[in-house]
Structure 1
Amino acid sequence: MSLLAVGVSHRTAPVALLERCAMDTGDVAAALHRLVAADSVHEALVLATCNRVEVLAEVDGCHDGMAEVSRVLARHAGVVVEELSPYLTVHRGDRAVAHLFAVAAGLDSMVVGEPQVLGQLRAAYALAQGEGTVGRVLHPLAQRALRVGKRVRSETGIDRAGPSLVAVALDRVEDRTGPLRGRPALVVGAGSMGALAATTLARRGAAVTVSSRTTASARRLAGRVGGRAADPADLPREVAAADVLLTCTGAPGPVLGAGVVSRAMRGRPERPLVVLDLALPRDVDPAVGALPAVHVVDLALLQREARAGGGAAVAADALAAARALVEAETARPAGRRPDSDRRSPARQGPALVPSRPTDPRPPGDPR
C-alpha cells in the first residue's frame, strides 16, 4: 500500500486552470466515489479551496494510483491528463504526510499562516467520512493533520502573525482608498468566506451591506456584524452606492457583469470603486477591470504578488517554529502523541480514532 497526495495549487497552476479544477461539495462527493471505484485506489480525501484542489489517497501502487487520480481531476476540469500533468504536484509516502501537515499548518497557503485552511481540511475530512471514502489509513492521518494544525497555531505564534487572505486583499484596497472606516462596503456571498469578509470589514470600520442569493443568510450575517442586508434584486443599486465590493460566492460562473458595474459608475464618474473577487471560479466578469475608475483585486493578482514575495510576511521565528513542529510531527511514529498533547486517562475526551473505522471497500474485497 502507498500514500499519495496529488493536485494543483496556487504554487503550480494559473488561476484560470484552478477555476476549471474548482469543486463544490457535490463535485467533491462525486470525485471521491470515482476515486475509490478505481481498482488501485482504496481510500480518498479531497481538499478543495480557492488555493488548491488536492487528493490524498491510499493506493496499491504509486504509478497506477497517480494515473487514476490524474484521470479523475482531468475529467472534472474538462481537460486531458496531458494538459493537466505539467501543473500537478505529487507527494508520496512520508512526503505526502509532511505535505498534508504543512497544508494544515497554513505553511503552503497563498498567504502563509492563514487560519482558514484548517477549517477547510476539517470539512473535507468530515465529507469524506460521510461518503465512506476514508478508512484505516486516512482516518488517523487526517486526525493527526488536524492536531498538527492546531498545535502550530497554539504553540508557534503563527496564528497571530498570519493574516487571512481577506485581510491581505483589504490591505490592497486601503493602499488605494486609505482607511476603510466609514466607507460603504458591499459583500456578495454569505458563506464562510463572506462571513470572514464582512467581519474583517466591520472591524476596520466599514459600513457593511451583505447581499446573498439566500436572503435569510444575508440577514443573519448582517446582524452579526452590525450591517444591513440587501435584496439580491437591488444589486445594481447597491454596487452604485459602494466604495468597496467584495464577492465570494460559490456560483459556477460570474455573478457580476461589466454591464451592471458600468451602469453603476455612470452616476459617480469621479468616485472610484475597488472590487475584490475572492471566489473560485471568479465571480466578476474580467471585463469589469477595464472600466474607468474601477480597480479589481482577484486571486490571480494575489497569486502574482505571493510568487513575487510581495505578500504579507510572517515573523521569521514563528515560521521557523512552525516548520520545525511539522518536521517533528512527520518524523514521529503514527499513534504516538507528543508529550505536550498527552493527558491522563481521566482527563481525556472521546477517542479521536474510531475503534471500528469506516472502510470504503465492499465486504470480501481482497484489496
Structure 2
Amino acid sequence: MSLVILGLSHHTAPLPLLEAMSLDPSRRADLESRLTARENVAEAIVVSTCNRTEVYAESLTFHGAVSDITEALTEATGVDNAQLREHLYVHYEDRAIAHAFTVACGLDSMAVGEAQILGQMRTALRDAQRTGHAGPALNALFQQALRVGKRAHTETGIDAVSVSLVEAGIARAEAHLGSLEDLSVLVVGAGGMSSLAATTMTRRGVGSLTVVNRTLSKAQRLAERTGGTARPLAELADALAAADVVVSCTGSTGVVVDLATAADAQVARAGRPQAYVDLALPHDVAPEVASLRGVVLAGLSALGDDLSAGQASAQVQEVADLVIGEVAAYLTSRAAESVAPTVAALRRHAADVVAGELGRLEQRLPQLDEATRAEVQLAVHRIVEKLLHTPTVRVKELAVGGHGDDYAQALRELFDLRPGQTATASVPPSQGGMP
C-alpha cells in the first residue's frame, strides 16, 4: 500500500480549467465513491478549493491508481482526458507526505501562508470519514498535516506574510476608487470567504456594508456580526447599483452577476466608478463586466499574480524548514508502526514462553519460598528483555531505512509469529472553526 496524490492547482493549470475541475461537497463524495470502488484504490480524500483539486489516495499499485484516478476525474468533471493529463501532477510516498504538509501550511496557496486551507482540509477529512472513504492511512496523514499547519501559524512568522485574497482585492479596489472609508460595500455570499471579506471591510472602516445571499437567514447572521444590512438575492440588482465595491464568493456553479445586470447597475449609478472583486471558483462575475466604463474587475487570476510578488522569503523558509523536520519525523513514526505488529507478536511469544516455564517451575518446586520465587521470575524476565532488546531496536532502525519489512518477515519466520492486523481511524477534535 502506498500514498499517491494526483491533482492540479494554480501552479499548473489555467483558471478556466480549475473552474471546470472545481467540485462541491456532493461531487467530491461521488468522486471518492468512484475511486474506492476501483481495484487499485483503498482509500480516497478529495480536496477541492479555489486553488486546487487534488485526490489523496492510499493505493494498492502506483500505476494502476494513477490510471484509475485520472479516469475517475475525467468522468466526474467531463474534462477531456488529454487536457487533464497535460496539467496534472503526481506525488508518491515521501514527496506526497511533504506535499500534504506544505499545502496544510499554506505554502502552496495563491495567498502564501493563508490559514483557510486548514479548514478546507479538515472538512474534506471529516466528510471522507463520514462516508467511509478515509481509512487508517489517510486519517493519520491528514491529522498530522493539520497539526503541522497549526504549528506553522502558531510557531512561525508566516502570518505576517499571509496577505489574503481579500486584502489583495481591497488593494485593487482602492487603486481604482481611493480609500474605502465612507464607501458602500456589497458582499455577495455568506460562506467562509464572504465572512472574511465582510469582517475585513468592516475593520477598514467602510461607510456601509450590505450582505446578499440566497438564504436570507445566513446573510442576516453575517450582517449582525459585522454591523451590516442583509438583503435577499432577489434584491441583488438594487444592491449592485448602490455599491461602490462588490465582493462576491457564493460557491454557485453559474454566473451570479452577468453583463446585463452589471450594466443596469452602472446606468443607475450614472457612471460612478465601481470595483468588483470576484473570489469565487467558478467565477461569480461575468468577465465581460470588466469592459464597462468606470468598472474594474479583479478575479482570482489577477489577485494571484498580485500576491506572488509579495512573498517574504525568511518566513516562508522558516515554515519550509518546519515541514522538512515534520516529514522526517512522520516517516520515522510510520516506519516504526509498520513493524509494530511483528514486535508485539514477538513480545507476546516471549511472554507466553516465560509464563509456561515459570508454571512448570512452580509444579516441580512447590516448596520455593516467595522471595526466591520472585527472584527467579525477575531473573527470567531480565534475560528475556535483554535478548529481545537488540532485535526490537534493530527492526525499528531498519524500518526507517526502508528494510524493515524484510527483517520483520525474517522474525516472523524464525519464531513462527502471526501478528494480528490492526487498523484504527479517529476524527480529529473539533477546533471550532479555522485555526
8 Å contact 2:158–2:315 — kept in the other structure?
yes
Q: Does 1:313 align with 2:381?
A: no
Q: Given that residues 269 and 293 in structure 1 are in contact (C-alpha distance below 8 angstroms), is that contact kept between their aligned partners in structure 2?
A: no
Q: Secondary structure at the match of 2:135?
A: coil
Q: Which residue of 2 aligns with 1:85?
A: 85
Structure 2 residue 354 is the aligned partner of structure 1 residue 357? no
Displacement of 1:304: 3.9
RCO comparison, higher one (Cα < 8 Å, 6+): 1
Residue pairs, 1:1-367, within 5 angstroms: 1-206=1-206, 207-306=208-307, 309-310=308-309, 312-314=310-312, 316-334=313-331, 336=333, 356-357=424-425
Counterpart secondary structure, 1:32? helix
Once residues 141 and 424 of structure 2 are traced to their aligned partners in structure 1, the CA distance between those partners, rounded to angstroms, is 15
Q: 1:159 offset after TM fit, Å?
A: 1.9
Q: Which amino acid aligns with 1:4?
A: V
User: How far 1:280 sits from its partner (Å)?
Assistant: 0.6
Q: Which amino acid is the alignment partner of residue 318 of structure 2?
A: A
Query: Normalization by structure 1: what TM-score?
Result: 0.89
Mapped to 2, the partners of 1:248 and 1:197 lie a distance apart of 9
Aligned residue for 1:345?
A: none
Tell me the SS of whatever aligns to 1:137: helix
Q: What secondary structure sits across from 2:173 in the alignment?
A: helix
What residue identity is the alignment partner of 1:110?
M
CA-to-aligned-CA distance 1:53-96 (integer Å, 9 cap, x gap) = 00110111211111111111122221232120010011111000
Structure 2 CA distance, aligned partners of 1:208 and 1:94? Answer: 47
Question: 1:24-64: per-residue Cα shift (whole Å, max 9, x none)?
Answer: 11111111101101100000111110010001101112111
Alignment partners' CA distance in 2, 1:92 and 1:252:
32
What value does the CA root-mean-square deviation take over the aligned residues? 1.7
CA-CA distance at 1:263 after TM superposition: 0.9
Q: Displacement, 1:356?
A: 3.1
Answer 1 or 2: which has greater helix percent: 2
Distance in 2 between residues matched to 1:183 and 1:355, nearest whole Å: 57
What runs of 5+ residues in structure 1 fail to find an aligned partner?
Answer: 338-353, 359-367
Determine the C-alpha separation between the residues in 2 that align with 1:152 and 1:182.
Answer: 36
Question: Does the 8 Å CA contact 2:36/2:42 hold for their aligned counterparts?
Answer: yes
Please, which moves more after superposition, 164-173 or 36-45?
164-173
Per the TM alignment, residue 161 of structure 1 is displaced from its structure 2 partner at its CA by: 2.8
Q: Secondary structure at the match of 2:36?
A: helix
Give the secondary structure class of the aligned counterpart of 1:122.
Answer: helix
Aligned 8 A contact 2:111 2:304 in 1? no
Q: Which segment drifts farther, 158-167 or 62-71?
A: 158-167
Q: Cα offset for 1:334?
A: 4.7
- Asked if the contact 1:262–1:291 (Cα under 8 Å) also holds between the matched residues in 2, the reply is yes
Partner amino acid, structure 2, of 1:25: P
Q: Percent identity over the alignment?
A: 43
Contact 1:44 1:134 in 2 (8 A): yes
| Structure 1 position 174, deviation (Å) | 1.5
**Secondary structure of 2:297's aligned partner:** strand
CA contact (8 A) 1:116 1:164 kept: no
Question: Is the alpha carbon distance of 1:356 and 1:333 closer, same or farther for their aligned partners in structure 2, counting shifts above 3 Å?
Answer: closer
CA distance in 2, matches of 1:270, 1:17: 34
TM-score (structure 2 length as normaliser): 0.75
**2: distance between equivalents of 1:333 and 1:21?**
31
The match for 1:347 is none
Q: Is the contact made by 2:2 and 2:59 (CA closer than 8 Å) also made in structure 1?
A: yes
Bigger mean CA deviation after superposition, 9-18 or 168-177: 168-177
Contact kept, 8 Å, 2:165 with 2:304, in 1: the verdict is no
Provide, for residues 79-117 of structure 1, a one-character-per-residue CA deviation record: whole Å limited to 9, x for no partner.
232120010011111000000000000000011111111
